């Protein structure tokens, strides 16, 4: 879909253009206008089985790390955005944190016009993150 879309009556957020990747798959190139903050509520609106796309990378990493689909959903539905990546390709994304039963989880997710894309998920390393798991340690 080409064009600009508005989210909840706000300023235009995303302009998309359908492109073909060298692998032959189609993607939507997304341009996020500067100074627009990714909203967790917009991600949550897409957090339903028929709207979630899990990348091969995320699927493999989650299996290896024993992170379940339900863990990912819980993180998105209950967590907070701690970092934003507006220039990620092919979609802007964000790092989401949920701490459940003293067990932190980070999920990187992005969104297109129709789908929520899970890019990866992991348990943050205490040596790389501050005690609240919201900020990377200075090295």
Q: How many CB atoms lie within 10 A of CB 133?
A: 19
Return the CATH number at 115.
3.30.2310.40
Tokens of 22: 């060298």
Give the span between the Cα atoms of 62 and 33, in whole angstroms.
31
Identify which of 9, 12, 81 has the alpha carbon closest to the alpha carbon of residue 44. Answer: 81
127 found inside a domain = no
Q: What is the pLDDT of residues 14-48, one digit of tens each?
A: 445 555 556 666 555 444 443 445 789 999 999 99
The count of domains in the chain is: 1
133 found inside a domain = no
> 105, 75 in Cβ contact below 8 A?
yes
31 found inside a domain = no
Residue 89: which domain range?
38-122
Q: What percent of the chain lies above the pLDDT cut of 70?
A: 73
60 found inside a domain = yes
3 state DSSP class of 94:
strand
> 129, 89 in Cβ contact below 8 A?
no
13 found inside a domain = no
Has residue 93 got a pLDDT over 50?
yes
87 found inside a domain = yes
- 0.75 surpassed by pTM: no
Q: What is the pLDDT of residues 51-71, one digit of tens each?
A: 999 999 999 999 999 999 999
95 found inside a domain = yes
């Amino acid at each position: 879909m080409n064009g600009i879309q508005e989210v909840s009556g706000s300023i235009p957020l995303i302009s998309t253009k359908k492109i073909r990747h060298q692998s032959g798959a189609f993607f939507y190139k997304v341009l996020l206008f500067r100074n627009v903050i990714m909203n967790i509520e917009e991600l949550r609106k897409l957090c339903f089985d028929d709207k979630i796309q899990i990348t091969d990378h995320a699927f493999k990493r989650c299996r290896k790390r024993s992170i379940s689909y339900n863990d990912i959903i819980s993180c998105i539905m209950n967590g907070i955005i701690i970092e934003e990546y507006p220039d990620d390709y092919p979609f802007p994304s964000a790092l989401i944190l949920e701490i459940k039963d003293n067990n932190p989880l980070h999920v990187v997710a992005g969104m297109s016009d129709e789908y929520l894309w899970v890019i990866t998920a992991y348990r943050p390393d205490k040596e790389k993150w501050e005690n609240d798991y919201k900020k990377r340690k200075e090295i």
